[in-house]
Homo-oligomer: A and B are copies of this chain.
Amino acid sequence: MLTLFVLNLLLHFAMQASSPLDQVFQYIDDHQDDYIQHLKEWIAIQSESGNPTKRHEVIQMIQTLGKTINRLGGSVELTELGKEQLPNGKMIPLPPVVLGELGKDPNKTTVCIYGHVDVQPARIEDGWVTDPYVLTEKDGNLYGRGSSDDKGPVLAWLHAIEAFQALKQELPVNLKFIFEGMEESGSRGLDELLRQKNDTFFSNVDYIVISDSGWLSKKPALTYGTRGLCDFFVEVQCANQDLHSGLYGGSVHEAMTDLIALLDSLVNSTGHILIPGINADVAPLTDEELHLYEAIEFNLEYFKHTIGTTELLHKTKEDVLLHRWRFPSLSIHGIEGAFSGPGSKTVIPAKVTGKFSIRLVPNMDPEKLSNQVTTYLNRVFEERGSPNKLRITLQSGSKAWVTDVRDKQYDAGRRAIRKVFGVEAEMIREGGSIPVARTLQHTTQRSVIMLPICGSDDAIHSQNEKLSRGNYINGTKLFAAYLDEISQL
């Protein structure tokens, strides 16, 4: 009797120690190599949305994703968005959007997950150590284009769901999925689709979660804001065709000289944007906000080290973070039409296009900004007295997004982080632009959270993009914990 009692007691404790969620965590730990293999298959698909010659691979990636959801028992609708016209006039199909659904229990909360499976261009010649399209593990990191942005996080969601199912545990929530293949190219057609589906697909959605960003440091984070983006082209033309700099140098108002002066008028050496009126639109910083920044753990020396610089534009942790997230910034990306190859070419380029962009914060407005930029550059150009042709165009514009950190979905996020990592979530914003956050919140009026699982040093959009094995696996656990927490709200 006593033996049986002791055995029952032990069994009781063992059951307690191994809660259903702990079993999910254990299952995830046990299957990490499978998850990496799965990611490897996805990375091999070169789904570069900005590269028209790879459009079929984006479409293939969307189809692969749809089948993965089908295997989990979910239903999938591949929603066509029509065609895209290339600058040369050619029409190519836009990749369809995956609208998926898994579970329809009216007693459960419904969570909609957003992600994307297209990637930025990558070539080994750009300076990758390994083939960007062959996922390669080295020192605990998984290198490959899209590993962190955003194929890894999308797969982590699907693996979290699969873990519940494999253990025959009931999914704690109903799920909806919205996964796209044009995020890196302005999410063409998505806004319109979201508006169309607001009364149908989104009607029973309670919460929306986005995993398409990174932590600030090695500490898990919740993201409550992103900057917007306005993308400008400044084209100057001085001749019908390129000229020989020996034959024409000294006689022609060169387009490059004008363009360089225009670009040089945009921002000064301290990073201050020189376009009049822009800074007046930035929402004033409150004391409450500043306190949020003071609480953040952020090692400036490590940040400088990862960049490879000795000095930043600002001196304090708060100032650096504020200028990454809370204030606008301007970057000059390059020039199209000028000589860009190795070696020398003594050419006077006939038509050159400078590319720059401005990151927007509340309360900046893309249309107003575009007017400010155009007025200013036209004035700078006029003062030069150049006979050349100037054309300034706004390529795309999106507003910033900020939400209330006191939203209860954020409480669920904080609890999930505490459960998986044993630490308090860092409350951060994102310097990059993820316009879909704003659009989803604006259109559906639902609570939106950004729940990142990627590292701060994942080099997204750059050479040698990676996701650490640890973040991939713990991120999968975090998603499982989040689904569990959100079901209890």
A20 interface hit (Cβ, 8 Å): no
Interface string of A232-257 (1 = CB under 8 A from B): 00000011111111111111111011
Q: Does A386 contact B (CB under 8 A)?
A: yes
Q: Across the two chains, which residue of chain B brings its CB closest to A353?
A: B342
A50 interface residue per 8 A CB criterion: yes
CB neighbours of A239 from chain B (8 A): 307-309
Are A344 and B241 closer than 8 Å at their CB atoms? no
Docked pose: A349 CA to B336 CA in angstroms: 14
Which one of B248, B348, B461 lies within 8 Å of A346 (CB-CB)? B461
| Shortest distance from the beta carbon of A173 to any chain B beta carbon, whole Å | 31
In the complex the two chains form, is A246's CB within 8 Å of B430's CB? yes
The answer for the CA separation of A253 and B308 in the assembled complex, in Å, is 11
Residue picked from A330, A388, A431, most chain B C-beta under 10 Å: A431
Among A64-72, A193-201, A262-270, A408-416, the stretch in contact with B: A262-270
| A250, B388: Cβ atoms closer than 8 Å | no
Say whether A256 contacts B308, CB under 8 Å. no
Q: With A332-B254, A335-B338 as known contacts, state yes or no: A244 contacts B346, CB within 8 Å.
A: no
- The interface residues of chain B lying within 8 Å CB-to-CB of A107 are none
**Among B257, B314, B349, contact of A334 (Cβ-Cβ < 8 Å):** B349
| Interface size counted on chain A using CB atoms at 8 A | 92
Q: Are B269 and A384 in contact (CB under 8 A)?
A: yes
A463, B256: Cβ atoms under 8 Å? no
Residue of B nearest to A254 (CB): B331
Contact A250 B229 (CB under 8 A): no
Does A11 have its Cβ within 8 Å of any Cβ on chain B?
A: no
Say if the beta carbon of A333 comes within 8 Å of chain B. Answer: yes
In the complex the two chains form, is A331's CB within 8 Å of B344's CB? no
Task: With both chains docked as a complex, state the minimum distance between the C-beta of A211 and any C-beta of chain B, in angstroms.
Answer: 16
Whether A249 contacts B324 by the Cβ 8 Å rule is yes
Q: Is A387 an interface residue (CB 8 A)?
A: yes
Q: Which residues of B contact A477 (CB under 8 A)?
A: none
CA distance A229 to B431 in the complex (A): 45
C-alpha gap A390/B248 in the complex (Å): 30
Shortest CB-to-CB span from A301 to chain B, Å, is 14
Contact indicator A245/B339 (Cβ below 8 Å): no
Instruction: Find out whether the CB atom of A258 lies under 8 angstroms from the CB atom of B269.
Output: yes
**A227 (CB) vs chain B CBs: closest residue:** B246
Min C-beta distance of A254 to chain B, whole Å:
6
**Is there a chain B Cβ closer than 8 Å to A385's Cβ?**
yes
Task: List the B residue with the shortest CB-CB distance to A231.
Answer: B344
Complex CA gap A271/B348 in Å reads: 13
With contacts A307-B239, A324-B249 known, is A336 near B332, CB below 8 A?
no
Interface residues of A in 314-357 (CB under 8 A from B): 314, 320, 323-324, 327-336, 338-350, 355, 357
Q: Taking the complex as formed, is A460 at the interface, i.e. its CB lies under 8 A from any CB of chain B?
A: yes
Partner of A355, one of B336, B345, B387: B345
Given A258-B269, A313-B250: A346 in contact with B357 (beta carbons within 8 A): yes
